[in-house]
Amino acid sequence: MKTIHTQNLIIGFGKAGKTLAADLSKHGQEVILVEQNTEMYGGTCINIGCIPSKKLLVEGAKRSLENDKTSVFQAAMSAKNGLIPKLRTANFAKLDNLDNVQVIHAKAHFKDDKTVILQSDNDKTEVSAERIFINTGADSNRLDVAGADGKRVFYSTEMLSLTERPKRLIIVGGGYISLEFAFMYKQFGSEVTILDNSETFLPREDRDVAEEMLRILNSKKINVVQNMNVHGFVEHAHETVVQTTQGDFLADAILVAVGRHANTQGLALEQAGIQTDNRGFIQTDNYLRVKGKDHIWAMGDVAGSPMFTYISLDDYRIVREQLFGQGMRSRDDRTIFPTTTFTEPPLSQIGMTETAALKAGRQVKVLKMKAEAIPKAKVLGQTDGLLKAIVDKDSDEILGVTLFCAEAHEMINLFKMAMDNHIPASYLKNQIFTHPTMSEGLNDLFA
């Protein structure tokens, strides 16, 4: 077994890890970044997450008026298959081209809190490191029911690379992945049914927003069944029966999208004395330092940070500030951040919903308008949805915004800046916007 020493060992080629590797190198530090899967160079986002899913959504939308849905599906898959390897190669080259960064293809596990074993097919290397950064991401939760290992039961990764378009798609779960894949496969002409076990559809959203999403889903003939549990899957020659508390459903493909868990299996965290919380995420302080270990950090999904690429990037910023700055940045600095579910239209949110503000005892003004009132929505032919802002009655402070309309995913970022800088609601009422844009609708929303 080879033994090497490095200043910095990064486990996992995720967003935080790859950005930190480049930064450490820029500062003259030597880095080993270990990734277990060559098909994952660049991490979840570019290979099996955000980018391939959005590429398929965009390609499907481009050809939404075409009747031959099999060819729409094939063209979208082929466009996605063309893009992803290029991004992966570029991500690898970006680090590999740096003199003091070494990317090693191996699976890492801890020997102790200063030593990590890198195990590849035919090689084993022991690395002792001054600093260790864990950025191993998350993986799909499995359904523990009979038949869940059947050939038509898939998770998001497989659904991004199906070779045959399913005529009937059942999606188990009613969150981000469920909704985005429901719209995606609807564009490919599949009959889509969402089976969710929660009593309330989109529980984090206000009811008017959830009802509008439900209306849009139904108008597209995407069926949503709430409050049900899957008992099992029974595989037949040409279809699979999904057995639930609300009867049987027939499917050509099933997507299970019921959340994701930390990728810590096989890391042998216990050998390094690294603890996980009751949900399996690595326990850190607000500066992402692993509990009780001054030289080990965890970043991104595995650290229990909200599962978004831009939050993993922000985790990198928190660590960067400790290594090269004043060390002041922490998780407390991002109490509010925007989110978007890439449906049609996209659903974007920041800060408090109306329900959350009232629950917190705030005295609020609720500003609300339909997307169809915005001229650009008519130009785009995308008049579904609504916009909502929650404003403190006395101080005029913007407490939260929900944009469920065309271009919402771009517009919501404006509110991160406005809210961080305490720009009052009245400012938006008179802000000059270009025309015709969806953003100009904010003049009316805040009027």
Ligand X SMILES: Cc1cc2nc3c(=O)[nH]c(=O)nc-3n(C[C@H](O)[C@H](O)[C@H](O)COP(=O)(O)OP(=O)(O)OC[C@H]3O[C@@H](n4cnc5c(N)ncnc54)[C@H](O)[C@@H]3O)c2cc1C
Ligand Y SMILES: NC(=O)c1ccc[n+]([C@@H]2O[C@H](COP(=O)([O-])OP(=O)(O)OC[C@H]3O[C@@H](n4cnc5c(N)ncnc54)[C@H](O)[C@@H]3O)[C@@H](O)[C@H]2O)c1
Which positions are catalytic?
A: 435
* Site for ligand Y contains 255 (CB under 6 A): no
Of the residues 8, 91, 125, 135, which one makes contact with ligand X according to CB under 6 A? 135
By CB under 6 A, residue 298 contacts ligand Y:
no
Locate 398 and state its tokens.
């913007």
Say if residues 189 and 381 touch (Cβ distance below 8 Å).
Answer: no
- Residue 171 CB, nearest distance to ligand Y (Å)? 9
Among 55-63, 124-132, 340-348, 389-397, the segment contacting ligand Y (CB under 6 A):
340-348
Q: Which two tokens stand for residue 431?
A: 């802000």
d(CA 294, CA 301): 20
Which among ligand X, ligand Y, none contacts residue 197 (Cβ within 5 to 8 A by kind)? ligand Y
Confirm whether residue 174 is marked as ligand binding. yes
Among positions 148-177, residues that touch ligand Y (CB under 6 A) are 172-177
172, interface contact from ligand Y, ligand X, none, CB < 5-8 Å by kind: ligand Y
One symbol per residue from 76 to 95: x for binding ligand X (CB under 6 A), - otherwise; what is it?
Answer: --------------------
Amino acid at the residue 17:
G
Provide the 8-state DSSP code for 281.
P
DSSP state letters, 118-183: EEETTEEEEEEEEEEEE---EEEPPP-SBTTTSTTEE-HHHHTT-SS--SEEEEE--SHHHHHHHH
- Residue recorded with tokens 């893009």: 83
Our finding on whether 53 is near ligand X (CB under 6 A) is: yes
Task: Tell me: is residue 325 an annotated ligand-binding position.
Answer: no
**Residue 266 binding target from ligand X, ligand Y, none, CB below 5 to 8 Å by type:** ligand X
**Is residue 374 within 8 Å of residue 440, measured between CB atoms?**
yes
Residue 12 binds to ligand X (criterion: CB under 6 A): yes
Q: How far apart are CA 113 and CA 376, in angstroms?
A: 57
Buried b (16+ CB within 10 A) or exposed e, 404-417: bbbbbbebbebbbe
Q: Is 195 annotated as a binding residue?
A: no
Q: What's the rounded Cα separation, in Å, for the pair 355 and 334?
A: 21
- Sole window of 68-76, 335-343, 362-370, 419-427 interacting with ligand Y (rule: CB under 6 A): 335-343
Which residue among 70, 78, 198, 218 contacts ligand Y (CB under 6 A)?
198
Tell me which stretch binds ligand Y (CB under 6 A): 24-32, 122-130, 196-204, 264-272. Answer: 196-204
Task: Using the minimum distance from each CB to ligand X, give the nearer residue, 7 or 141.
Answer: 141
308 touches ligand Y by CB under 6 A:
yes
The number of C-alpha atoms within 13 Å of 136 and in the hemisphere containing its C-beta is 24
Q: Is 301 annotated as a binding residue?
A: yes
Q: Does 375 bind ligand Y (CB under 6 A)?
A: no
Q: What is the C-alpha to C-alpha distance for residues 88 and 40, in angstroms, rounded to an integer?
A: 7
Tell whether residue 177 is among the known ligand binding residues.
yes
Name beta bridge partners: 337.
none
Of 150, 259, 273, 436, the one binding ligand Y (CB under 6 A) is 259
Say how far apart CA 70 and CA 164 lie, in whole Å. 8
Closest alpha carbon to 30 in 94, 91, 101: 101
Identify residues 240-279 at the interface with ligand X (CB under 6 A).
Answer: 263, 266-267
Q: Of 35, 59, 113, 180, which one interacts with ligand Y (CB under 6 A)? A: 180
Beta carbon of residue 12, minimum distance to ligand X (angstroms, whole number): 3
Q: Is 54 annotated as a binding residue?
A: yes
CA atoms within 13 A on the CB side of 243: 9
Alpha-carbon gap, residue 300 to 1, rounded angstroms: 31
Q: Tell me whether residue 178 is annotated as binding.
A: yes
178 binds, among ligand Y, ligand X, none (CB under 5 to 8 A by kind): ligand Y
Identify the residue among 91, 178, 193, 264 touching ligand Y (CB under 6 A).
178
Partner interacting with residue 275 (select from ligand X, ligand Y, none; CB below 5-8 Å by kind): none
Asked whether position 312 contacts ligand X by CB under 6 A, the answer is yes
Cα distance from N-terminal residue to C-terminal residue, the chain: 69
User: In the chain, helix, strand, coil percent, each to 5?
Assistant: 35, 30, 35
- The answer to whether 110 touches 274, Cβ cutoff 8 Å, is yes
- Residue whose CB is nearest to ligand Y in the complex, by number: 175
**Is 69 or 409 the residue whose CB approaches ligand Y more closely?**
409
Backbone conformation region of residue 327, classed left if phi is above 0, alpha if psi is from -120 to 50, else beta: left
277: left (phi over 0), alpha (psi -120 to 50) or beta: beta
Residue 49, interface with ligand X (CB under 6 A)?
Answer: yes
Asked if omega into 306 is within 30° of 0 (cis), the reply is no
Taking the least distance from each CB to ligand X, the nearer of 256 and 367 is 256
Is residue 411 helix, strand or coil?
A: helix
Residues that bind ligand X (CB under 6 A): 11-16, 34-37, 40, 43-45, 49-50, 53, 107-108, 135-137, 156, 177, 263, 266-267, 300-302, 307-310, 312, 342
Residues that bind ligand Y (CB under 6 A): 143, 172-178, 180, 196-198, 230, 257-260, 307-308, 340-342
- Binding-site positions for NAD(+) read 173-180, 259
- Binding-site positions for FAD read 54, 301
- Binding-site positions read 54, 173-180, 259, 301
